[in-house]
């Protein structure tokens, strides 16, 4: 599935709910769908700085595509990780770099997060972009 299709899927899923309680439940469901992240990947190098909760992101790069593993120790934050990985995992570095995270605002997520969670979200997006830049540079060598 292409990255834009995944964004459309996320947008449709969240926009079917009028109530933010229902959207939070959907967000938590996304966190529960994350595959179990191996404990040996929960290391300092994979930790996302700037998050109030503990968050880990680990990329692998094969056949020109980045796959992410991720986890958090907080349910809502783990849901945010789940949404981001649903959209960005299985994409090329260039797809990630050229896809602005406007879907975050389109589903109203950013405006319903506390300041600390919004900062954490920005830190996760930044880390995903840094990984994509590094893998893009590696691919161009």
Residue numbers annotated as active site: 51
Q: Residue 86 and residue 98: Cα distance in Å, rounded?
A: 16
Which residues partner with 56 through β-bridges? 47, 71
| Neighbouring C-beta atoms of residue 15, cutoff 10 Å | 12
What tokens appear for 14 in the block?
Answer: 């969240």
Axis crossing angle, helix 75-88 with helix 3-15, rounded to the nearest 10: 140
Find all residues with CB under 8 Å of 141, minimum gap 6, and list them: none
Q: Residue 58 and residue 28: Cα distance in Å, rounded?
A: 20
- Is the separation of the CB atoms in 100 and 31 below 8 Å? no
């Amino acid at each position: 599935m292409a990255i834009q299709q995944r964004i459309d899927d996320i947008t449709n899923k969240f926009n079917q709910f009028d109530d933010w309680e229902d959207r939070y439940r959907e967000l938590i469901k996304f966190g529960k769908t994350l595959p179990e992240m191996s404990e040996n990947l929960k290391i300092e190098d994979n930790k996302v700085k700037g998050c109030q909760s503990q968050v880990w992101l680990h990329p692998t790069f094969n056949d020109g595509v980045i796959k992410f593993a991720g986890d958090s120790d907080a349910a809502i934050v783990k849901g945010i990780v789940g949404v981001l990985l649903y959209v960005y995992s299985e994409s090329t570095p260039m797809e990630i770099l050229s896809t602005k995270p406007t879907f975050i605002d389109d589903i109203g997520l950013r405006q319903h997060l506390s300041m600390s969670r919004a900062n954490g979200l920005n830190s996760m997006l930044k880390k995903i972009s840094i990984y994509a830049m590094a893998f893009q540079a590696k691919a161009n060598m």
